[in-house]
Structure 1
């Protein structure tokens, strides 16, 4: 996928950046994250993510951490559109993620290049 680095938000301290990176890595070491705005965290997920390799408990724990510790109101799951398949996005629908319409995809993502799902906490 094309976004491969964690963008250190000015909203978060470096210690908190480390904690979030660790929490995301506990769910899946290949995942990355970025704060889109002070209330929105985006998870950059490889499209070939095998749903069976993700612990539901760890994923739910990450969602809870984002809500309780970071105070985010929305979590985005972001996938490269050219490589899009149904696999993991289908699984995310079962835990409450919904597809964002193209005109609602936030910067820095482009609806031409990314498929984005949203979860409101």
Structure 2
């Protein structure tokens, strides 16, 4: 299954059906969290997110229109002399396990429309 991330499209607008992201004015960093807006009163949105417990409030000026875009998965597989396989999320982690290593395979998912 392909992983997804949020891509910012621009400032919050009523016409956009979601998803939304939060722009943190504190450190000018966009927090890529999927936001569900329940209501808006006087520029304050009552929201919930997938990565934080409970409902909370955020200024609408910090809300951004977003869309989900696919992200290619990438990992490394070590094949060992005894026939065992181990999967690692980074090359550095895979390189830590060299004993009896037969070969290391780098795997990157090809997304629709990429390559030939």
Q: TM-score, normalised by structure 1?
A: 0.22
Q: TM-score, normalised by structure 2?
A: 0.23
Q: Which of the two has greater helix per residue? A: 1
Q: Which has the larger radius of gyration?
A: 2
